[in-house]
Amino acid sequence: MHHHLWERVAIAGAVVVITALLAKLVDVRIGRRELTPALATRYRVIRRTIFAAIVFIGVLSALLVIPQVRAVAGGILASSAVVGIVIGLAAQRTLGNFVAGLLIAFTQPIRLGDEIEVADASGTVEEIGLTYTWLRTADDERIAIPNDKLASETIRNKTFKR
């Protein structure tokens, strides 16, 4: 009986490792291209979203290989509505930032390298993440601005011209 448990734990570990390698391979493959700032901004957000999704699905798949975990998962799924509501309320701000990050990536009011002013911050867009956008100020400081704030505030983009 113990032998089967270790065998399944080894399979679960292998699934996690394979998933991590697959996620990294997809990430490297997408990131290898030379892109314009507009496409680079979209690709960076998409790469991170795909990477997170592959890792999440892989870890979940690995855990379901173990019968004890599968039995517990059935109970968790039965009460998932309550868990989903609690997590949704707790992560409302984070999910808002994530959705705003996707909106920023596709509507592109800002791009990597743009010189912007938003609220009381100004600087060069250094990175647009899934939940935060990072600016580099003239004083060489980094400022993290939540993406939902960027999506709801007026942005003065000094670089972007049509």
What tens-digit pLDDT sequence spans the chain (162 residues)? 556 767 777 777 787 788 778 777 877 776 666 667 667 777 777 777 777 777 777 777 766 776 777 776 666 556 666 667 777 777 777 778 788 888 887 888 888 899 999 988 899 999 888 788 999 999 999 999 988 888 888 889 888 665
Q: Are residues 64 and 91 in the same domain?
A: no
For residue 150, the domain's CATH number is 2.30.30.60
Q: Are residues 48 and 96 in the same domain?
A: no
Q: Are residues 64 and 109 in the same domain?
A: no
Q: pTM of this prediction?
A: 0.52
Last residue of a domain, one of 58, 73, 88: 73
Q: Are residues 57 and 106 in the same domain?
A: no
Question: What is the reported pLDDT for 124?
Answer: 94
Q: Are residues 13 and 56 in the same domain?
A: yes
Round to whole Å and give the CA distance between 146 and 129.
9
Q: Are residues 83 and 60 in the same domain?
A: no
Contact 134, 150 (CB under 8 A): no
Q: Helix/strand/coil (H, E, C) string of 31-87? A: HCCCCCHHHHHHHHHHHHHHHHHHHHHHHHHHHHCCHHHHHHHHHHHHCHHHHHHHH
Q: Are residues 20 and 83 in the same domain?
A: no
Domains identified in the chain, total number: 2
Domain that holds residue 46: 2-73
Question: What is the reported pLDDT for 116?
Answer: 92
Q: How crowded is the C-beta side of 60, counted as CA atoms within 13 Å?
A: 10
Q: Are residues 63 and 100 in the same domain?
A: no
Q: Are residues 87 and 150 in the same domain?
A: yes
77 Cβ contact list (under 8 Å, min separation 6): none
Round to whole Å and give the CA distance between 122 and 114.
10
Question: What is the reported pLDDT for 115?
Answer: 94
Residue 28: strand, helix, or coil = helix
Question: What is the reported pLDDT for 10?
Answer: 79
123 sits in the region (left: phi over 0; alpha: psi -120 to 50; else beta) called: left
Give the other-Cβ count within 10 Å of 98's Cβ. Answer: 20
